[in-house]
Amino acid sequence: MAQSRMDRSIVDDAAMAGAIERWAVDLPPGEEPARFLAALEGGAVPDAAVPARAASAPPPADLEARPVVARLDEMLERIARLNPSLHAFITVDDEGARRRAGQLDAVPRRRRGPLHGLPIAVKDLCHVPGLPTTCGTKIPHYFTAAAECTVVTRLVAAGAINLGKLNMVELALGAFGDNENYGHVDNPWKSGHSAGGSSSGSAAAVSAGLVFGAVGSDTGGSIRLPAACCGIVGLKPTYGRVSRAGAMPLSWSLDHLGPMTRTVRDAALLLGIMAGHDPRDPTSSHRPVPDYLAGIESGIAGLRIGRPENHYVEGLDRDVEIALDRALAELARLGATVTRLRVPDPQPITDATTIIGRAESLVLHGAILRDRPDDLQPFTRERLAMGGSIPAYDYLQACRLRARLTREFLREVFAEVDLLVVPTTPEPAPSLIAALAGGPGEILQRSMRFARFTRPFNGLGLPVLALPCGFSREDLPLSMSIVGRPFDETTVLRAGYAYQQATQW
């Protein structure tokens, strides 16, 4: 496959591979890629330290007052009114949703699930039988799977109503929410500004009150960036915590599925239903799923929270810096011990994930690039083609290095603190005109800068909760990210909940 025209305008591939080689030079022969999963498991909190997941929980009391069908009709009317300008949905399944609502109204109260009647929607890379899965392309059935996406099945089994498929950046390859096929997703807080990417429709739908919650995917920040831009909560779980079966893969080593909601409590509720081992996804963890709502209100007194002083601070917009200072001060007021600390340089893991992601995305989507390139947007074509310049040697070295960098990060950071707090984005949501100016190379440079605080944690596989922490002078949402130990979403959510309860965000 021909090398992409924009390779050299983004990053010198030879220099990046050379850096990987230097960082990997002293790796012992046994550092195979599979050891990354072992590194995560080894750094996790003991199973006995977290409460077991409850078998069931009653739906919120306020949902019992009115029939599901009546509430659904109001939500579908709202979608019909707002979606033409918001472009959050690609497919609205009115008929299926109404049929499901009627079924739920007939369920006896004692048998109702924890999500009884709650409207959700899923990013349009999740396979749902009977609905097209475009993955943001102009091809109606770009992706199909042998069975429904596992997380969708679990949410619906808990009583949720899936209203349809949400807009996204084509093939999940972008940070700004643009899509020429179905319309650029608009920011509900400020029209004409980016909704973030690639789970742009998921974030906009939640922010605009079109759904209770949404499913997003995250390969380099695609849950957290839209959550930040749209002023909502987005959780990238630990790698392996949530099954990815039935969802279009972009990079099997870096992909995560997770919940996007308006509150931390809602994210905890959805995660508890989505998480758990799935035989269809061999990378999904066998670790027990805790009850993420148990103890969420117990506060953060005595919790050790770290604030990096040497990285994740470069080039911050002044509004972001002020909001982060205030958020950390509030966490300290709530009883946490906030300390500054030095953290490992994120550049090695970022370069490793760049190599891994580019190579794997070309393997997974090279056929359409070869056979139907005109069906893809120019930026997507260029992004996929970049994987053709990566030798197998560099890819395998990057995979080997990832395991070591993960162990080093866990040892150096979480020996000192329980959680790490970093900005989600270096600046507020840009205008779409500014974000999409220039050619594919310029847009990619801009998106990589915008995602520079999110991408390292896909490589490390750690749980990260993005949540609102204020507004810019232009009234755009700002966001912070809470990073935890592997499989310690419980503590991450507890800290996020305490902060959200104490603030107006």
Catalytic residues: 123, 198, 222
DSSP string, 307-348: EESSSS-TT--HHHHHHHHHHHHHHHHTT-EEEEE----SHH
Cis peptide leading into 198, omega within 30 of 0? Answer: yes
- Single out the residue of 505, 496, 423, 426 nearest to residue 471, CA to CA: 505
Closest CA to 10 of 378, 409, 449: 449
Measuring CA to CA, which residue among 58, 482, 501 is closest to residue 306?
482
Cα separation of the two ends of the chain:
48
Could you give the angle at which helices 13-23 and 347-371 cross, rounded to 10 degrees?
Answer: 130
Max distance between CA atoms of the chain, in angstroms, equals: 64
Q: CA dist 434 to 176, 329, 437, 447, 500, Å?
A: 10, 33, 5, 11, 31
What sign does the dihedral 483-196-471-210 (CA atoms) show? negative
Using DSSP's 3-state secondary structure scheme, residue 196 falls into coil
Q: Collapsing DSSP states into helix, strand and coil, what is residue 149? A: coil
Map residue 35 onto helix, strand or coil: helix
